[in-house]
Amino acid sequence: MIILGLDPSLSCTGWGVIRAEGSRIAHVANGQIKTDPKAPMADRLAAQQSGLAAVIAEYAPNRAAAEEVFVNKNPQSTLKLAQARGAVLAACGAAGLHVNEHAARKVKKAVVGTGGADKTQVQAMLKVLLPGVKVAGADAADALAVAIADAHLAPRL
């Protein structure tokens, strides 16, 4: 099973692809889709969608996974995140990919063992679970964590 993990964001969407066979996982690829903050919103969303479509075409995942939406204190930030998620989910939908959604606390618990883990703990555990992996950045690390969590959680959904 090839799983595409996603960490949507308007400025930089992280993606991570793993292969899951039973309880074993292996890194396939990871990266980030960055957008120009000076570009119009429609162009940024189109870049997110087309960038992810290229990732899906290259790695042919069987399914995708993303963190559930959380609400920021700033409504504008929440709206921008929702728009980026929409572009990312639309790319998955256009490719016929089912997308599982997981709460951030469940992702952290599945990867680190505690739902209150911070980013450094998640990144440290990625090095243990995926030895030798070169992570493209913090957003890609989060996406890999989502993919790993999905490998463990989705059969129970």
Quick: pLDDT tens for 107-156.
Answer: 999 999 988 898 899 999 999 999 999 999 999 999 999 999 999 988 64
79, 84, 90, 96: CA torsion to nearest 10: -130
Q: What is the set of domains in the chain, with CATH numbers?
A: 2-156 (3.30.420.10)
pLDDT, residue 22, reads 85
pLDDT, residue 71, reads 65
Check whether 7 is labelled as a binding-site residue.
Answer: yes
Residue whose token pair is 């396939």: 28
Q: Which pLDDT tens digit goes with each residue over 49-106?
A: 999 999 999 999 999 999 887 666 788 888 888 999 999 999 999 999 999 999 999 9
pLDDT, residue 155, reads 62
Q: Which pLDDT tens digit goes with each residue over 22-58?
A: 889 999 999 999 999 999 999 999 999 999 999 999 9
Tokens of 18: 């793993």
Choose, from 43, 118, 139, 150, the residue flagged as catalytic: 139
| Helix H or strand E segment including 30 | strand 24-34
Q: Please tell me the chain's helix, strand, coil percentages from 3-state DSSP, rounded to the nearest 5.
A: 50, 25, 25
DSSP 8-state secondary structure symbol assigned to residue 22: T
| Euclidean distance between CA atoms 41 and 54, whole angstroms | 20
Residue whose token pair is 């969590």: 149
Residue whose token pair is 């960038």: 51
Check whether 67 is labelled as a binding-site residue.
Answer: yes
Is 118 catalytic? The answer is no
Kindly calculate the radius of gyration of the chain based on its CA atoms and give it in whole angstroms: 15
Tokens of 40: 């119009």
Is 58 catalytic? The answer is no
- How many C-beta atoms surround the C-beta of residue 7 within 10 A? 24
Give CA separation, 78 vs 81, 83, 144, in Å.
5, 9, 23
Q: Whole-prediction pTM value?
A: 0.93
Choose, from 36, 43, 58, 67, the residue flagged as catalytic: 67
